[in-house]
Amino acid sequence: MTDDLKDVVSELAQRMLVEWDVNSICTDVLIGFCDLMSDEALRAIDEHPRPHKKPHELLPGTRSGMAFFLPFNKEIVESNRGGRWASREWVEAYISVNRLAQRIGAVVSLAIRAAGEQARSVPPTGDFSEETLSSNWSHKLIGELCGLGHIGLHQMLITPAGCAGRLISLVTTAELEPSSRSDAQLCAYLRDESCVECIEACPVGAIRPDGFDAQACYRHCIANALRLPEMPLAEVCGKCAATRCALGPG
């Protein structure tokens, strides 16, 4: 049943890309699975720098996690390179793919329930404290545990398809075979300090080798959103995610 359920999940996610006609934004989806009850996963959650919910607090009886990364294509990435403000194309992609990611989470959860298990997805954005600028559930951490990649200096998850895109995760009572994971460092700065593009691209200097200024980043993202009042609110910038590792590891 494990392999069958994983196949169903993968097929659903890929099919929804076609049905939503987002080929002008992304053409693939990366999917990973993990054992959220493993010692490694529980330790990673306990050691997360900000308060993080335990899996059973989201869903009693949770056994496994899964993460979906929807990468933006080259045209979207290139539209957001240079300048101070997020490109309209980047903002539109962010809004559209967030909606798709949330829908994938909902549909996959329904499919898992139809198979006799329980599941719960977490929205890709918006569920966070404006005071602490942190959420009590990290999609990026779950993405790491599911083998999708590693978090880089710019605090984005770098996957084999890059870091430009959107991420969603969910938990389930189903016992799923974990995806393989690599220890290879995908961030060129963290690997050998050979790249500082994200530092240079940040319009407000929020990215530094010795830390990340979340407040400065968020203020700039709000300013970006206010520049486009005719669009749904999108507190986004993405300059750091449109650099060397945008479309693949640097």
Structure tokens at 114: 């139809």
Beta strands in the chain (DSSP E): 30-35, 64-71, 119-122, 150-151, 157-158, 165-172, 207-208, 211-212
Structure tokens at 54: 């335990």
Only one residue has tokens 């139809």, namely 114
Q: What's the CA gap between 175 and 147, in Å, rounded?
A: 17
User: In whole angstroms, how far apart are CA 164 and each of 25, 154, 232, 245?
Assistant: 11, 12, 20, 8
Spatial contact of 122 and 128, defined as CB atoms under 8 Å apart: no
Per-residue pLDDT of the chain (250 residues; tens, 9 = 90+): 577 889 999 999 999 988 888 888 987 899 999 999 999 999 999 998 878 889 999 999 999 999 999 999 999 999 999 999 999 999 999 999 999 999 999 999 999 999 999 999 987 765 555 666 667 899 999 999 999 999 999 999 999 999 999 999 999 999 999 999 999 999 999 999 999 999 999 999 999 999 999 999 999 999 999 999 998 888 999 999 999 999 998 7
> Which residues neighbour 30 within 8 Å (Cβ) at sequence distance 6 or greater?
68, 69, 70, 71, 148, 159, 160, 161
SS3 label, residue 24: coil
